[in-house]
């Protein structure tokens, strides 16, 4: 057996996709969480028949899946304001998913389960799409979805699979052949925290607000920019519900830890997929810096960055074009403010202590120390300044001046 992670024991070599576990017919690999709450394969040598399949399907093993450089780059958004408002950026995922569902296909993506954990699931009707909509900033458990995708494809159905690039690469390596009816979208990916950290954060919010979290959204568009919003029921089950919303995401300790890369999976800091070459037919992302490139575009309900990487991706865009606004852009503009399209998130020094502090102290301790934004009002001033510069179309000029200082 030569599965890279099992051979090296190096956590940089495993993204937790479960492709090896699902491919092994001898049940010699099973996924177990480590102390930080991230899943890794555990090897049972006695069961292994040395077939080499796990090594071939691993998206972090050599050789990596060949990637496609984007053929077309767009600033894009759905023409439906309602879809944009319930999505993370421009609602492109929903428009593509609706198109596949109209062909009696199945859509695979990440959904919250009843206990608040996040798993990949299949949806076969438009009513179910709400479960998948919206980014969940925690690692989604793939479960047995790769096998289920293969079953759908073998039955001649269309499948649309959305996930982080390593999950899309894991699926494509697991399938070991191309299917005409498989369409994939990868996300530009900042990295993923563990479900253990997310559960600890939710318990912290529940204690603070005296009740149980019932609905949770990482990217609510009702306030100023994107912000975490959830509803709290309590103190008794079935009691009254109140809505809690952060004014800015940065002020939520969980988001602060996420965006600063303080609690990300080890493999994310060495991610081989944080690059312009992509593994999905399409890439979905936020179009950071869109105001500088398309100053007149209405951005109130979000704008996506959309990359069409393959011929299949390009044909899909032609098919949904009546339902979406597409503005042709360039890769250099796309990468300028979206640097996870070109580099993995750097590992901060403090990362080494974060999960130990969670165990030895508590989430409350992290919220008051490493995950705390120290100067909130400075952040608000900076945010307001950027918005004013965007309004006056002066942001690129000021950035150039600061760069040449
Ligand atoms: C962990 C994570 C990190 C990201 N980092 C960046 C970034 O650095 N820069 C950037 O521009 N964009 C990033 N994105 C992508 C961005 O937040 C939006 O998901 C994307 O723009 C699509 O928006 P939408 O409006 O088209 O779709 P939405 O309706 O918001 O749909 C989101 C899609 O993402 C899938 N999804 C949600 N959560 C997860 C998850 N945890 N794992 C796998 N799939 C998931 C859903 O199944 C759905 O298909 C990230 C997303 C995630 C989940
Ligand atoms: S080599 Fe084959 S039998 Fe052994 S763990 Fe890998 S897939 Fe399973
Ligand atoms: S990256 Fe996926 S296939 Fe590779 S070892 Fe980890 S779980 Fe297995
Ligand atoms: S950063 Fe890379 S390794 Fe981490 S979840 Fe995203 S695609 Fe996977």
pLDDT at 202: 96
Radius of gyration (C-alpha) of the chain in whole angstroms: 21
pLDDT at 405: 61
Residues carrying CATH 3.30.70, the chain:
4-57
User: Which residues in the chain land under pLDDT 50?
Assistant: 223-224
Ligand 2 centre and the CA of 194: distance in Å?
26
Model-level pTM greater than 0.75? Answer: yes
pLDDT at 29: 98
d(CA 381, CA 119): 38
pLDDT at 239: 77
Ligand 4 centre and the CA of 363: distance in Å?
24
For the chain, how are helix, strand and coil distributed in percent, rounded to 5?
40, 20, 40
Long-range contacts of 61-67 (CB under 8 A, 24+ apart): 61/3, 61/4, 61/13, 62/4, 64/169, 64/272, 65/169, 65/172, 65/173, 65/279, 67/273, 67/275, 67/277, 67/278, 67/279
pLDDT at 219: 73
Strand, coil or helix: 331: helix
- Whose CA is closest to 182, among 284, 283, 107, 128? 107
Mutation pick for ligand 2 pocket among 28, 40, 45, 56 (CB with most ligand atoms within 8 Å): 28
Phi, psi angles (nearest 5°) of residue 192 = -130, 130
The C-alpha angle 194, 117, 173, rounded to 5 degrees, equals: 65
pLDDT at 226: 66
Ligand 3 centre and the CA of 348: distance in Å?
24
d(CA 268, CA 343): 10
Cβ of residue 90 lying under 6 Å from some atom of ligand 1: yes
Cβ of residue 345 lying under 6 Å from some atom of ligand 1: no
For the record, the structure tokens of 238 come out as 């079935």
Which ligand 1 atom minimizes the distance to the CA of 133? 29
- For 4-57, CATH gives 3.30.70
């Amino acid at each position: 057996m030569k599965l890279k992670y099992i051979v090296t024991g190096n956590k940089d070599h495993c993204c937790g996709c479960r492709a090896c576990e699902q491919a092994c017919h001898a049940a010699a690999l099973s996924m177990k969480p480590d102390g930080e709450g991230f899943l890794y394969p555990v090897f049972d040598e006695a069961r292994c028949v040395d077939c080499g399949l796990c090594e071939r399907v691993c998206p972090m093993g050599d050789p990596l899946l060949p990637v496609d450089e984007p053929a077309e780059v767009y600033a894009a958004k759905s023409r439906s304001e309602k879809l944009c408002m319930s999505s993370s950026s421009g609602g492109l995922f929903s428009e593509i998913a609706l198109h596949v569902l109209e062909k009696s296909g199945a859509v695979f993506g990440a959904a919250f389960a009843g206990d608040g954990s996040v798993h990949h699931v299949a949806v076969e009707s438009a009513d179910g799409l709400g479960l998948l909509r919206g980014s969940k900033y925690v690692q989604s458990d793939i479960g047995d979805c790769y096998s289920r995708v293969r079953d759908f494809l073998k039955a001649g159905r269309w499948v649309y699979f959305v996930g982080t690039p390593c999950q899309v690469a894991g699926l494509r390596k697991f399938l070991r052949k191309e299917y005409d009816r498989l369409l994939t979208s990868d996300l530009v990916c900042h990295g993923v925290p563990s479900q253990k950290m997310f559960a600890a954060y939710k318990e912290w919010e529940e204690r603070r607000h005296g009740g149980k979290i019932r609905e949770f959204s990482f990217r609510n568009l009702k306030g100023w920019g994107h912000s975490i919003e959830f509803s709290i029921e309590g103190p008794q089950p079935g009691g009254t519900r109140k809505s809690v919303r952060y004014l800015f995401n940065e002020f939520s300790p969980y988001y602060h830890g996420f965006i600063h890369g303080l609690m990300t999976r080890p493999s994310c800091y060495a991610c081989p997929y944080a690059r312009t070459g992509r593994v999905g037919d399409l890439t979905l992302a936020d179009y950071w810096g869109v105001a500088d490139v398309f100053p007149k575009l209405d951005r109130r309900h979000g704008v996506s960055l959309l990359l069409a990487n393959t011929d299949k991706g390009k044909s899909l865009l032609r098919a949904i074009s009546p339902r979406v606004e597409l503005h042709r852009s360039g890769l250099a503009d796309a990468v300028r403010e979206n640097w996870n399209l070109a580099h993995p998130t750097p590992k901060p020094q403090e990362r080494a202590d974060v999960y130990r502090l969670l165990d030895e102290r508590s989430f409350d301790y992290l919220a008051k120390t490493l995950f705390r934004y120290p100067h909130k009002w400075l952040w608000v001033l900076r945010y307001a300044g950027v918005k004013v510069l965007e309004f006056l179309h002066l942001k690129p000029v000021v950035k150039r001046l600061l760069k040449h200082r």
